Amino acid sequence: MLHSDKLLNQAMLMLAAQAGAIFVGQNVCYDGNVMYKSLEGVPMSQRRELPVAEELQMGICTGLALQGFLPISIYPRIDFLILAMNQLVNHLDKMAFMSRGQFRPKVIIRTKIGSKRPLNAGPQHTQDHCEALRAMLKHTEVYKITSPDQILPSYEEAIAANYSSVIIEALD
């Protein structure tokens, strides 16, 4: 296991130790993408497998957060997160503002920029949308992890924050 893989697993175990933590997304219960291995040791009772339904996933996670859970919403590629932008930009990010602070759902969104090595998966799987997200999100922190030493501090900040976070792994 690579150094960054061990740190990502450590970060996921740190998240799993938080009260109400629940991991939601594709391949969180069944192997099928690179993120699955980083969940080793996270109890299956804290994982919820979903079909490919990105906007629904973000809506479910917002609802879970409103019920007191700490959803960790996993999108295997940032390109797939685009399909959840309505829920992320217009609802999760703005809910505290729209409700005058009455509702403050907190979701930690984990995604990654797809690798171009050893096989380039093409532009629809390898784009970098970090700056666009930062421009659109007003009440959600966006972290871009580009080196292994940023992994644990980024996830620790997301845990400590009183707002939602998007953590983008760009380690390839």
Average pLDDT score over residue span 150-169: 97
Q: Which tens digit of pLDDT belongs to each residue from 61-82?
A: 999 999 999 999 999 999 999 9
How many Cβ atoms from other residues are within 10 Å of residue 43's Cβ?
A: 10
Mean residue pLDDT across the chain: 94
Number of structural domains (the chain) is: 1
- List the one residue out of 70, 153, 144 whose CA is nearest residue 111: 144
pLDDT tops 80 at residue 117? no
Q: Which tens digit of pLDDT belongs to each residue from 31-64?
A: 988 899 999 999 999 999 999 999 999 999 999 9
For residue 128, how many C-alpha atoms fall within 13 Å in the half-sphere facing its CB?
Answer: 11
Here the CATH number for the domain that contains residue 142 is: 3.40.50.970
- Could you tell me the pTM of the whole model? 0.94
Residue range(s) defining the domain that contains residue 95: 3-169
Q: What is the DSSP string of 100-166?
A: TTS-----EEEEEPPP-SSS---TTTS---HHHHHHH-SSSEEEEE-SGGGHHHHHHHHHH-SS-EE
pLDDT tops 60 at residue 1? no
